Amino acid sequence: MPRVNRTFVFVLLLASSCAFLLFQLYYYRNYVSKEPGLHLLDPAGHVMSSQVQWQNLKKFLALAQFFRLPLFLADSAALALLSQDALRQRDRAMHEPHCSFLCAGRPITSFALPASQWQLSPGFLLAAEQKGFQLLEVRGRDPRLASLDTLSGEEIPLHFLFRLHGYIIHVVLLYERSGGYLWHGALRLKATADPTFAPFRLLDYGRHAGAYDRPELLLTVVDGLDVRVPRNISRFLVQRQEARFLECRYHDARSFLQLYPDDSSAAAVEFRRKAKVLLRLAAQTLGRLDIPFWISSGTCLGWYRQCGVISYSRDVDIGIFISDFRPQITTAFRDAGMSLKHQFGQVEDSLELSFLGEDVKLDIFFFYRDGDVVWNGGTQAKSGRKFKYVFPSFSLCWAELLEVKVRVPCETLDYVMANYGGTWSVPVKSWDWKSSPSNVIENGVWPVAEWAGLIQVY
């Protein structure tokens, strides 16, 4: 009996295995993968079928189009994949719809909708349920009503979650605020709500309230579906990362004003008007330079304590991290009609700018990071003495003051207490910036020979 060639047998087995594998791939691609309702599992065991998710989105967007709901794509993962070049290349390459962008490997797709448009389509929810979507509606009180005497208990819709075949379509409602920006509320489930309805930890929106500039929208085709997207996607994504919004403490402000009524004199009313104009001008001027700022010192205290400005403070205070300093700041404010009142310090140490507009002063304090604290400097012009004001590190959130969208330290109470101590809730009209703050420390003296460049008063 002839001996079998081992190499020949090995090559034959290898060729047979490869052929069988190719047949399996061909059969799956042409037959199995097109069977409706078939799902794959990812390594974590979750159902992953982009075709089913795409069919859900197609059905949902068709309903939105029928009811004329101007939804726009707000999903961070999907938007991160999108670009005009990618869309054009995809349209050329694909001959049939495929969920490359909208599904993005997640069981959720997020859309946003102006709340004013939602009120015009009362039949949408019923139609969605008839199409098989399960609904979870999250409602809450409009926080702006917290300062009013109302027992109506009326709530506004904040979030809608539509579920079909295990996939979630999240619609977040955007409300227009008096400051001209868009706001959405936090997603807080009622005790009666089903906590397993959706993977809430994966939602893009709802962990906190958020604030956005109104995006310019573009109607385009994504994965074969007509979808509105922000024209400037990268800007929208940056805003989403920094969108956290802090509501004014209306209840506490009301209690404060009952104890310490607001000054209603003509001078105080006029100051509040001028402060509003100045704050809006600062926001516009620094916005054009793409420089983030926050309200600081007495202006921050006024927002936190009484949801307004402290009329006897007679100025507006803002903070900017020194890393965001631009030499064009002075020119930009001058072009906006303001005059430079003084400039103290230097970029490397204790920089401070002060501008004057309509006899109200805008003080800009530049903040320096130093380990786990931040500080800003102060200078006494007549003596050259330096001061330092130390704060715990903080992050920035959006807020509204005098109908202007501004930033505040997210850890506002820590910030206020560092500056004003435990008695911050009690008005103090005699305030010495060199000795009254709780966080002020002496920081040396500017050399006399350098005063001409470091202490400039106009």
- The predicted structure's pLDDT at residue 105: 83
**Amino acid 39: pLDDT:** 38
Q: What is the pLDDT of residue 10?
A: 58
> What pLDDT was estimated at residue 384?
96
pLDDT for residue 34: 40
Give pLDDT, residue 27. 43
- Cα–Cα distance for residue pair 279/300, rounded to 1 Å: 12
**Residues 144/178, Cβ–Cβ less than 8 Å:** no
In whole angstroms, give the CA distance from residue 453 to residue 347. Answer: 12
Give me the pLDDT at residue 89, please: 55
User: How far is Cα 399 from Cα 246, in angstroms, rounded to an integer?
Assistant: 5
Q: Tell me the DSSP string of 372-399.
A: TEEEEEEE-TTT-EEEEEEEE---EEEE
* pLDDT given for residue 100 in this prediction: 83
Structure token digits, residue 403: 């109908």
Q: What is the pLDDT along the chain (458 residues), one digit of tens a residue?
A: 455 566 655 555 556 665 555 555 454 444 433 433 333 334 343 444 788 999 999 999 999 999 999 999 999 999 999 865 555 555 544 444 578 889 888 899 999 999 999 876 778 999 999 999 999 999 998 888 865 655 556 789 999 999 999 999 999 999 999 889 999 999 999 999 999 999 999 999 999 999 999 999 999 999 999 999 999 999 999 999 999 999 999 999 999 999 999 999 999 999 999 999 999 999 999 999 999 999 999 999 999 999 999 999 889 999 999 999 999 999 999 999 999 999 999 999 999 999 998 889 999 999 999 999 999 999 999 999 999 999 999 999 999 999 999 999 999 999 999 999 999 999 999 999 999 999 999 999 999 999 999 999 99
Task: Give the angle 230-165-98 at the CA atoms, nearest 5°.
Answer: 50
Report angle CA 361, 366, 372 to the nearest 5 degrees: 140
pLDDT of residue 251: 92
- Write down the pTM of the prediction: 0.85
CA dihedral 217, 220, 223, 229 (to 10 degrees): -10
Q: What pLDDT score does 43 carry? A: 38
For each of the domains in the chain, give its residue range(s) and CATH number, in order of start: 41-241 (3.30.460), 250-457 (3.30.460)
Q: 23 phi and psi, to 5 degrees?
A: -65, -40
Residue 51: what pLDDT? 86
Q: CA 393 to CA 368: how far, in whole Å?
A: 10
> What's the Cα-to-Cα distance from 57 to each of 26, 48, 65, 231, rounded to whole Å?
28, 15, 12, 21
Q: Which residue has the tokens 């977040």?
A: 172
Distance in angstroms (rounded) separating the CA atoms of residues 114 and 102 = 21
The pLDDT, as a whole number, for residue 414 is 97
The per-residue pLDDT for 92 is 47
